[in-house]
Amino acid sequence: MEPQITPEYIKQLVYSILPEVLAQYQEEKGKEFYLNPLLERLVRLEEELKALRIEMNLRFEAQRKESDAKFEAINARFEALTMEMNSRFEALTKEMNTRFEALTKEMNARFEALKQDSDAKFEAINARFEAQKQESDAKFEAINARFEALDKRLNFLQWLIGIGIAFLGGLITLLNFFK
């Protein structure tokens, strides 16, 4: 009787024959048996690495383009900001110069008014001092005139007294002499 061919039977038959066939194939091929799958794996690995490298390069290129675009946008914004700041600074500088010139004119006007006021006050003070000097000179002249008059009077009295005493002394001497 012949055994029936069933999938189970084929499976058992393959499992029983396969180790022998593989062992025989391994003995014949030796190292080549192990090298073929390794070489295939290496080739696949290199291809995958190449594909990864290409994908990475594409991503880096896309990121570089994106960053370049962002950098250009930032540069444009920075330039616009710089121009705006420069225009603001120039406007501020013009405004400050205008205000400084107005302040300078106002201060010059104030200094001129103060100078004229102080000149007028000094003129008034000089006039008062001059009037006081003339008044004091007039008073000193009056006092000098009074002192000169007093001095003349005192000189007259001194001479009068001196002559009177000399006359009396001479009279007494004559009276004593004639006695």
Give residue 39's domain range. 7-178
pLDDT at 65: 92
Q: Mean pLDDT of all residues in the chain?
A: 87
Q: Is residue 41 within 8 Å of 49, Cβ to Cβ?
A: no
Residue 2 lies in a domain: no
Answer whether residue 41 shows pLDDT above 90: no
What is the mean pLDDT of the segment spanning 48-69? 91
- Count structural domains, the chain: 1
Token pair 């002499």 is found at: 177
Residue type at position 48: E
Return d(Cα 136, Cα 140) in angstroms, integer.
Answer: 6
As given in the structure block, the two tokens for residue 152 are: 């003349």
Residue 52 lies in a domain: yes
What is the mean pLDDT of the segment spanning 61-73? 92
What is the mean pLDDT of the segment spanning 83-96? 94
Residue type at position 2: E
Residues for the chain: how many in total?
179
pLDDT at 91: 93
Residue 50 lies in a domain: yes
Residue 1 lies in a domain: no
Q: What would you measure as the largest C-alpha separation in the chain, in angstroms?
A: 230
